Amino acid sequence: ARTKDGFSYTKATGELKRGLVSEGAICPSTSFASSPQSTYDVIVIGAGYSGLVAARDAASAGLSTLLIEARDRIGGRSWTSKDEHGNLYEMGGTWIHNQQGFVWRELARYGMDRNLKLSPNEDYSSHAYSMARRNGIEYKQDYATNEAVMDRAMRIFTNLPGASVQEAVPFPPHLLDSFLSDPKLTALYDTTSCAERVAQVEKEGLLTNEELAYLVAYIELCFGARLEKCSMLVWAKWYTHGNCSYKLLNDLLIVYKIATGQSSLARKIFDEAASTGKLSYSFESPVSKIIDRPSATRVVTSRGTFSARRLICTLPINVAGKVEFDPPVSALRQEAWKEGHVNRCLKVHSEIAGPEFRSWTGNLCDDDVPSGRQLSMAIGDQLLKSGNAAVVAFGIDFDEEKAPSKNPRGIASLFGEFDPELEKRYIGSTWHEWGSDEFANGAWAMPGVGFSTKYLKELQSRHGNVLWAGADISDDWNSFIDGAISSGTRAAYTVVEEWRRTTLPSAKL
């Protein structure tokens, strides 16, 4: 079925399409023909990974569960589109890894853990290199050289004077706790931007322009934002998740994807939840207001008002503030929502004639390109059924005025800023404008400087009957698919336990 989300453009016909085919599209949009149940055991807001897992776990435990979603599809910020030739494009969250225990468990549960394919491919030797440009100087490195360069550059960059993140963070999943329990490290890392650190290493001659050309583009790729907005604390968290190794970090971030697409995993979770007979759902039902009272919580949507004893809310932090709460959420939470995270990445897949760019990587740091640098990094991602390469590019600080949907003919020249050959070979594109998406207003959540230490605990704390979940506020793989699943799992567990305590007769020993 078709979702309203996403765009595609073909240069030959000049046609721009809005809305793409996806396995994640849900039709019909509600599970109930007339009036729904009066009070559910739990309502879950949001059918991204966090909400899907929470709804499945609650429904599987026997709770009457209502899943409410604004869009016409499951998956939230992770979804897959399919073109008329059967090519799959990941529009949002893509890469997963076996070190991410929660997502790996889901894959194993549905027999999908061998259903993976690789993004990098170094077979096409004419273009098997990574290019980077900084201060007008262009570099080319083969991948083995690039790995060694990045490993060294990251180590020097990440260890601020007087700190060794490797020693400070003995166990990466609890990194934020380690930082928070050490005021010196907190002060050092969460008050320093990556831009300040680049200036420092440059001034002290610790890294060369070539090393910085690759490193800066990589950090900006991770944040979907320019360096000034990137927090050293969050960067250090990512680095230690990769056990302080570039190779492992890169494997975690950008290598393994699901061969049948993210939407196929989301489908499995949704279908299992539906098969319990305890799940009701309402898609295309944006929530506008949540009224929480001790006896029940009411959720006002465009399709009516629903009621439940508990609520699991997985709204992304950059849009949660649009929903009215009665009683209001704390002033600190409101402040956090207002500030939001900084990631305004634009993800664009382009078909490029010939297979050669399948093996290629590009990094841009200079802002003096014609677009003002909308894209910062691109990689060969797959070989399409046509035999052409698909290159996926990532933008920073999405600017709605310059959105590809407003000027699709300009996409080719954006790719040409990496290499003019890409512009010449350009065929067409598929993309999602996350920066102007009304139900996300950003991509994967990257907290800015000072955000995590100030707001994260508050964002996780309960508000009456309302429990919060989602990748944006999860503890361990914060901002990743894994974090979405882990926090959804935990929230559902809490709700199920409370339900058991109040509903089921005590077990007789």
Q: Would you call 42 helix, strand, or coil by DSSP?
A: strand
3-state secondary structure of 16: strand
Type and span of the H or E element at 249: helix 246-254
Task: Say how many residues touch ligand FAD, by CB under 6 A.
Answer: 40
Please state, as a whole number, how many other Cβ atoms lie within 10 Å of the Cβ of residue 190.
23
Mask of contacts with ligand FAD, 92-121, x by CB under 6 A? xxxxx-------------------------
For residue 353 the two structure tokens come to: 């004639």
Cα end-to-end distance, the chain, whole Å: 51
Q: Which is nearer to ligand FAD, 197 or 344 (CB)?
A: 344
Residues 346-375 that bind ligand FAD (CB under 6 A): 347
Indicate the DSSP class of residue 34: S
CB of 319 or CB of 364, closer to ligand FAD: 319
Q: How far is the CB of 161 from ligand FAD (least distance, A)?
A: 32
Helix (H, G, I), strand (E, B) or coil at 305: strand
Q: What is the DSSP string of 416-468?
A: HTT-HHHHHTEEEEEEE-GGG-TTTSSSS----TTHHHHHHHHHHS-BTTEEE
In the DSSP assignment, the letter for residue 145 is H
Residues 432-461 contacting ligand FAD, CB under 6 A: 434, 439-440, 443-444
User: Interface with ligand FAD includes 190 (CB under 6 A)?
Assistant: no
Q: Is residue 310 a contact point for ligand FAD (CB under 6 A)?
A: no
Residue 168 or 392: the one with the smaller Cβ distance to ligand FAD is 392
Shortest Å, Cβ 232 to ligand FAD: 21
For ligand FAD, which stretch binds (CB under 6 A), given 134-142, 161-169, 225-233, 312-320? Answer: 312-320
- Closer residue to ligand FAD in complex, CB, 185/319: 319
Q: Does 77 bind ligand FAD (CB under 6 A)?
A: yes
How buried is residue 28: exposed, middle or buried, by Cβ count under 10 Å (0-12/13-18/19+)? exposed
Say how far apart CA 302 and CA 453 lie, in whole Å: 36
Q: Interface mask (CB under 6 A) for ligand FAD, residues 458-487, using x and -?
A: ------------xx-------xxxx-x---
Least Å distance, CB 241 to ligand FAD, is 11
How many angstroms separate the CA atoms of 345 and 475, rounded? Answer: 22
The CA dihedral of 68, 469, 432, 325, to the nearest 10 degrees, is: 60
Task: Say whether residue 404 binds ligand FAD (CB under 6 A).
Answer: no
55 binds ligand FAD (CB under 6 A): no
Using rule CB under 6 A, residue 70 touches ligand FAD: yes
Choosing from 49, 157, 418, 468, the residue that interacts with ligand FAD (CB under 6 A) is: 49
Q: Which two tokens stand for residue 352?
A: 């490029």
By the rule CB under 6 A, 395 interacts with ligand FAD? no
Q: Which is nearer to ligand FAD, 190 or 437 (CB)?
A: 437
By CB under 6 A, is residue 24 in contact with ligand FAD? no
Q: What residues form DSSP beta bridges with 430?
A: 8, 349
* Binding segment toward ligand FAD, per CB under 6 A, in 89-97, 350-358, 421-429, 447-455: 89-97
Taking the C-alpha atoms of residue 49 and residue 481, their distance in angstroms, rounded to an integer, is: 7
Q: Is 68 in the site for ligand FAD (CB under 6 A)?
A: yes
Q: Does 221 bind ligand FAD (CB under 6 A)?
A: no
